[in-house]
Structure 1
Amino acid sequence: MSNKKDQNPFIKELSDKVGDFTVSLHYDRRLYKQDIKGSIVHASMLCNQKIITLPDRDAIVTGLLEIESEIETGIFTWRPELEDIHMNIESRLHEKIGSVAGKLHTARSRNDQVSLDMRMYVRDSINIVIEQLTGLQRVLLDLASQYNNIIIPGYTHLQKAQPVLFAHHLLAYFEMLTRDKTRFKEAYQRTDVLPLGSGALAGLPYDLDRSYVAKELGFSEISGNSMDAVSDRDFVIDYLSAASICMMHISRFSEELILWTTEEFSLIKLPAEYTTGSSIMPQKRNPDFAEISRGKTGRVYGNLISMLTILKGLPMTYNRDLQEDKEGFFDSHDTLTSVLEVFVGMLPGIYVNSEKARQSAEGGMVLATDLADYLVIKGVPFREAHGIISELTNYASNNHKMFSEVSLEEYRDFSMLFDEDVYEISVESSISARNTAGGTSFKMVQQAIKAGYRKLGG
């Protein structure tokens, strides 16, 4: 007599080529926690609705918890011939508890099951990223507080434009990360919809309590259309889009850190442990971590474009193409979290060369706008003042003079409104004058730092 418990209905033979082509286990095994948690709640709901018995539920739950332990301790035997994480877990459950395992898939399709797993995983991923972004924002605030009086040149077109506080520059990235967090929070809201209970595509002929499942799994909404629920991957695109924009911000910051460390700028030094030496030039310390972070941005962009391309031609509802939603997502999540981890570790060790910053801020005619404002305050229309200072700037540059080295007589060759008080214009006065909300004045930057800490909860 055959032992039914030993007969595993999930084992089937596939050609090696077909199996290798369709298998997703090597990456979707990361969903094991979400898959097991979803199955436990599903089994409990089936029991509550008297679709399966209490002993069957207990056997299923016990078996699933044992499988989770096996996976976490590394003794679980992964079987690629079963293709994915779902069938690996269910097959192992069958080995443990026999045919009762087959009852777990009552009122469930792999279509709504995998959507559930992905939504749960994406939610967890978003929470991780938001926590990291908050940590990076705190690092920026700490740096801004540490270097709150250092003046550097602000740039447009990578040319010196106006003096700004280094802290003000850092706080620009604080604002970018705030928007990033908002995007991830919005992505979370759209992810936080329960698809389980949709079946393969048309719903299910059982008296299910989807509200119970939603509550137990922490979902705030239940999907309103079964066809959309099993085929929707907008939430993956939302994450990848937010990740791409966030990586763009990190890439911009990386670019500036790289520039600032060059001998030509010499504004900062990165911690030694975040730079590497040259294989041939012993004098060099290369900003490899910042460069690699900048370079990794492209792969995150690529994963977003890949996901958009996968979805653009799919008819309703589920298609196997959707299997391709995971690998790019996992790669983007791993990339983003690793880059954020690097920045949280690297930035606190930055050294700012205050003397070089001051020299750089005072050079390059950065007070030209302040001189134009000086004339405006004395009644000259701004466009006219702009023209006067443009001519003055050309004169000073051609004669290799700083504005402070131009004599009053020379100033008055351009406008008789110039007086001795023109020499009171300095990088400090320029900074202090930018006192509008959001400006670079000492007062406004201090207020912005305090407001930033309040946003983060102290």
Structure 2
Amino acid sequence: MADKDPRLSDTSKFPDPVYKETVLRPLFDGARNHHVDGFRRIDRAHLVMLAETGILDRAITAKIAEALVAIDKEVDPAELVYTGEVEDFFFLIEKELKARIGVDIAGRLHTARSRNDIDHTLFKIGLKEKIDVLMSKARTLLAAMIDAADRQKSTLIVAYTHGQPAQPTTFGHYLSATIEVLIRDIERFSDARRIVDLSPMGAAAITTSGFPIDRARVAQLLGFSAPLRNSYSCIAAVDYTTSTYSAIELMFLHLGRVIQDFQFWTSFEVGQIYVPNSLVQISSIMPQKRNPVPIEHLRHLASQTFGRARTVLDVMHNTPFTDMNDSEGETQGMGYEAFASAARVLDLLAALIAQISIDPERVDQNIRRSCITITELADSLVRIEGLSFREAHEIAAATAKSVVAAKGSLADDGYAPFTAAFEHSTGRKPSISLDKFEEIVSPEHFVAVRSRFGGPAPEPMQAALAAYRERLSSFETEAKQIERDEAAAAAELEEKFAALMGDR
């Protein structure tokens, strides 16, 4: 005998207790904790649009508006406990509406919309707010870095390649390199925000609606720059999520490299960065140790931020191009943890950069021990003695080898081996005197002659700092305009929503 159709004998009721605890309760709590204001704004903006387009008459929209206000006053989201009576937070609000104005009128608020377009609009509202906060902190860090670069534009440091001393430059020049990367990271965030700033409302489930809705009006009332054009894209294209977390991932990958340099430069063996006592912890057993542990916290928090952002991207991988839970509540909530750790890194790094300084004595020792100005000797031989760079390089290499072997310094002990190497290679004496040699191999001279575009000399550094400040100013101007636009949209929404109740 064939098995009976299980649909005919199924007496189970939704929700299954395990499903309730493992899925519905966490989703409800996530919406309650993160999206209450978003739900409120969406309900009000959609209702205003339904009234303005004539889809609902004014008497009905007034009753719905009054009920929404009552819910705001009488229902405290912080005290809500999920019981399973309703599927999610959306249906809780609908249940509260029904209790106040009846099933027929309450149900009309959902005309021409779906949880699909509501959800993605909620997530975009939340992301915009979090992006704006993080961008503000990134601008604060950028300002701290520019100020530090300005203060330290003439402060010598040892620049490293492959973990070895390479050439002298200035701390300001080093920081300028990191500033340029941070500027590009902020630009990526701005681009991501522009993608987020397109409203999905009006897409409904997939294909918009047969009702004469005004999608642009809802977008305006919610503070979006415009509606996202294609309605399928509104519920399927999660590039607003991937662009946001890609921007986070790259920013904290890049900042992590700077943090790692600071860790290396504060080591006892290098010691060219001094961290003040306010940012140093002392060992519980070794009283001689000064541990600049904020740098370690920066490193692991930057890595956690990177990892959390990457996880969101990994969840999006190989998902279908449709509305799907993979991109929604719990994934969005998980991503918020990346914003939280990111904010901690930006705040702490800005404080650290504002307070650290360079130890000139250690820098001088390391320059002397490492012969890192030898490149300029080779360059000067080309300019002054008319040699090919390859021959000049060989003379300079022989000079450095002798100085290092003698554990001396280039300025104090390099002239004799230099003249010997020069005569051996060219068969004549150099025209460079001892005084000229000492000038050539000084780190100050090394920096001063590198006055090309982007170099560490004073002129290109001043031009660079001016450009960075101008870019920071443009970021600030853009942020202020965004703040004004968001405030204006919020004020108009409140005004138009309040007017609905005045129509009674």
CA contact (8 A) 1:40 1:60 kept: no
* Worse overlay, 135-144 or 92-101: 92-101
After superposition, give the CA deviation of every residue in 1:93-143 in whole Å (9 maximum; x if it has no partner).
444544333222211111111111111222222222221111111111222
The answer to whether residue 417 in structure 2 is matched with residue 410 in structure 1 is yes
Larger CA Rg, structure 1 vs 2: 2
The unaligned stretches of length 5 or more in structure 1 are 1-11
Q: Which residue number corresponds to residue 47 of structure 2?
A: 43
Distance 1:56 1:75, change over 3 A: farther
CA contact (8 A) 2:403 2:409 kept: yes
2:21 is matched by which residue type in structure 1?
D
* Worse overlay, 293-302 or 133-142: 293-302
CA contact (8 A) 2:245 2:310 kept: no
Q: Which residue number corresponds to residue 8 of structure 1?
A: none
Distance 1:419 1:93, change over 3 A: same
After superposition, give the CA deviation of every residue in 1:274-328 in whole Å (9 maximum; x if it has no partner).
3433343343343333212211333333334433333333334212222343123
Q: Which residue number corresponds to residue 26 of structure 1?
A: 29
CA contact (8 A) 1:408 1:418 kept: no
CA contact (8 A) 2:400 2:414 kept: no
1:395 is matched by which residue type in structure 2?
S
Q: Point out 4+ residue stretches in structure 1 off by more than 6 angstroms.
A: none
Separation in 2 of the partners of 1:64 and 1:290? 49
Separation in 2 of the partners of 1:102 and 1:272? 63
Separation in 1 of the partners of 2:295 and 2:98? 49
* Worse overlay, 21-30 or 78-87: 78-87
The CA RMSD measured in Å over matched residues stands at 2.5
Q: Which residue number corresponds to residue 398 of structure 2?
A: 391
Distance 1:307 1:156, change over 3 A: same
Pairing partner for 2:451 from 435, 439, 451: 435
The answer to whether residue 106 in structure 2 is matched with residue 101 in structure 1 is yes
Separation in 2 of the partners of 1:245 and 1:231? 24
* Worse overlay, 285-294 or 126-135: 285-294
TM-score, scaled to structure 2: 0.81
CA contact (8 A) 1:123 1:191 kept: yes
Q: CA deviation at 1:238?
A: 0.7
The answer to whether residue 140 in structure 2 is matched with residue 135 in structure 1 is yes
Equivalenced residues, count: 446
Alignment partner of 2:421: what SS? coil
CA contact (8 A) 1:70 1:76 kept: no
Pairing partner for 2:60 from 46, 56, 70: 56
Separation in 2 of the partners of 1:48 and 1:355? 73
Q: CA deviation at 1:407?
A: 5.5
Q: Which residue number corresponds to residue 80 of structure 2?
A: 77
The answer to whether residue 251 in structure 2 is matched with residue 250 in structure 1 is no
Q: CA deviation at 1:447?
A: 2.8
Distance 1:65 1:361, change over 3 A: farther
Separation in 2 of the partners of 1:135 and 1:109? 40
Distance 1:282 1:408, change over 3 A: closer
Higher-RCO chain (CA-CA 8 Å, sequence separation at least 6): 2
* Worse overlay, 81-90 or 98-107: 81-90
TM-score, scaled to structure 1: 0.89
1:152 is matched by which residue type in structure 2?
I
Distance 1:329 1:59, change over 3 A: farther
The unaligned stretches of length 5 or more in structure 2 are 1-12, 423-428, 475-504
CA contact (8 A) 1:436 1:444 kept: yes
CA contact (8 A) 1:240 1:300 kept: no
The answer to whether residue 427 in structure 2 is matched with residue 422 in structure 1 is no
Identity %: 27
Pairing partner for 2:461 from 437, 445, 457: 445
Distance 1:75 1:95, change over 3 A: farther
* Worse overlay, 18-27 or 227-236: 18-27
* Worse overlay, 413-422 or 96-105: 96-105
Separation in 1 of the partners of 2:262 and 2:18? 48
